[in-house]
């Protein structure tokens, strides 16, 4: 059960954030086995005063079209799966929405399964 947060600068196309989310979900489904309908996303657009980043950190040239993606998920994926996920997300955003590869910033947060409650005050995955 991933929880995806996407932050971008306000875009002129009102469907842009949603389209980013759809591509991320498709990449998670195909690379790390996220099940059908397991799609929880928070898509946020910011004005330039509230979207701050270093345009050259680690020698990567970023623009104000930066897409910041944070995925919180249960631990257990291999490094190879994570690398494939990063690559698939970046390449699909580039191919479908013309987002530069340099402008795709991804952060994975892994948690133990008992750290989820999907409703009703119950830890559904706790063993």
Q: Within a domain: residue 126?
A: no
Q: Within a domain: residue 35?
A: yes
Give the active site residues.
2
What is the span of the domain harbouring residue 88? Answer: 3-115
Q: How many domains does the chain have?
A: 1
pLDDT of residue 124: 85
Q: What is the DSSP string of 78-95?
A: -HHHHHHHHHHHHHHHHH
Residue 4 near residue 21 (C-beta atoms within 8 A): yes
Q: Within a domain: residue 23?
A: yes
Q: Within a domain: residue 89?
A: yes
Q: Within a domain: residue 55?
A: yes
Q: Within a domain: residue 96?
A: yes
Which of 97, 70, 74 minimizes the C-alpha distance to 86?
70
pTM: predicted TM-score of the whole model, two decimal places: 0.94
Average confidence (pLDDT) over 2-26 = 97
Q: Within a domain: residue 87?
A: yes
Residue 25, CA atoms < 13 Å, CB-side half-sphere: 17
Average confidence (pLDDT) over 67-78 = 96
Q: Within a domain: residue 120?
A: no
pLDDT of residue 22: 98
pLDDT of residue 1: 80
pLDDT of residue 125: 85
CATH number for 28? 3.30.429.10
């Amino acid at each position: 059960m991933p929880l995806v947060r996407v932050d971008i600068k306000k875009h002129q196309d009102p469907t842009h954030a949603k389209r980013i989310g759809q591509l991320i979900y498709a990449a998670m489904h195909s690379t790390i086995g996220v099940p059908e309908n397991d799609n929880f996303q928070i898509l946020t657009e910011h004005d330039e005063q509230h979207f701050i980043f270093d345009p050259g950190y680690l020698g990567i040239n970023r623009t104000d079209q930066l897409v910041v993606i944070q995925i919180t998920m249960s631990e257990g994926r291999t490094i190879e799966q994570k690398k494939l996920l990063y690559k698939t997300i970046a390449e699909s955003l580039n191919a479908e929405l013309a987002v530069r590869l340099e402008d795709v910033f991804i952060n994975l947060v892994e948690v133990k399964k008992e750290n989820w409650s999907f409703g009703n005050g119950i830890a559904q995955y706790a063993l």
